[in-house]
Amino acid sequence: TQLLEQSPQFLSIQEGENLTVYCNSSSVFSSLQWYRQEPGEGPVLLVTVVTGGEVKKLKRLTFQFGDARKDSSLHITAAQPGDTGLYLCAGASDAGGTSYGKLTFGQGTILTVHP
């Protein structure tokens, strides 16, 4: 069974601070996605990374996929109240006949940014 450990579980910060969320596994993933979910809504895809060592930037968000494709991080610069939400990492593996993109999710990080 593949597991993704996400940390921290809760993060409460002031507007303007920087933060990093981590996603770790002992398993290798073919791809790693980050999603953001707001209450009462489904997860919204932020980014997909597929290459070990890959770094992607989306405005104030920076995503990194580990060289061994077992871990990832999400860094937010100068957080804003609008960044508040549940952040989820999810990995897909092509192993064991699951090349259709079956996702394993982390437990999520609840981020609260105070004005």
Partner 1 sequence: GAGVSQSPRYKVAKRGQDVALRCDPISGHVSLFWYQQALGQGPEFLTYFQNEAQLDKSGLPSDRFFAERPEGSVSTLKIQRTQQEDSAVYLCASSLGTGRDRYEQYFGPGTRLTVT
Q: How far is the CB of 66 from partner 1 (least distance, A)?
A: 17
Pattern 57-86, partner 1, x by CB under 8 A: ------------------------------
Size of the site for partner 1 (CB under 8 A): 29
* Residue number, 74 or 92, with CB nearest to partner 1: 92
Query: Order of strands, edge to edge, in the sheet holding 5-7?
Result: 5-7, 19-24, 71-76, 61-65, 55-58
In sequence order, what are the residues at sequence separation of 6 or more whose Cβ sits closer than 8 angstroms to the Cβ of residue 60?
76, 77, 78, 79, 80
Residue 38 in tokens: 């707001």
Q: How far is the CB of 67 from partner 1 (least distance, A)?
A: 19
Distance CA 37, CA 43 (A): 4
Nearest to 79 by CA among 36, 45, 111, 34: 111
Q: Is 50 in the site for partner 1 (CB under 8 A)?
A: yes
Please, which residues bridge with residue 74 across strands? 21, 63
Question: Considering only residues 7, 62, 75, 105, which one is a binding residue for partner 1 as defined by CB under 8 A?
Answer: 105
One of 14, 16, 45, 55 touching partner 1 (CB under 8 A): 45
- What residue ranges bind partner 1 (CB under 8 A)? 4, 6, 30-31, 33, 35, 40-45, 48, 50, 88, 90, 92, 98-108, 110
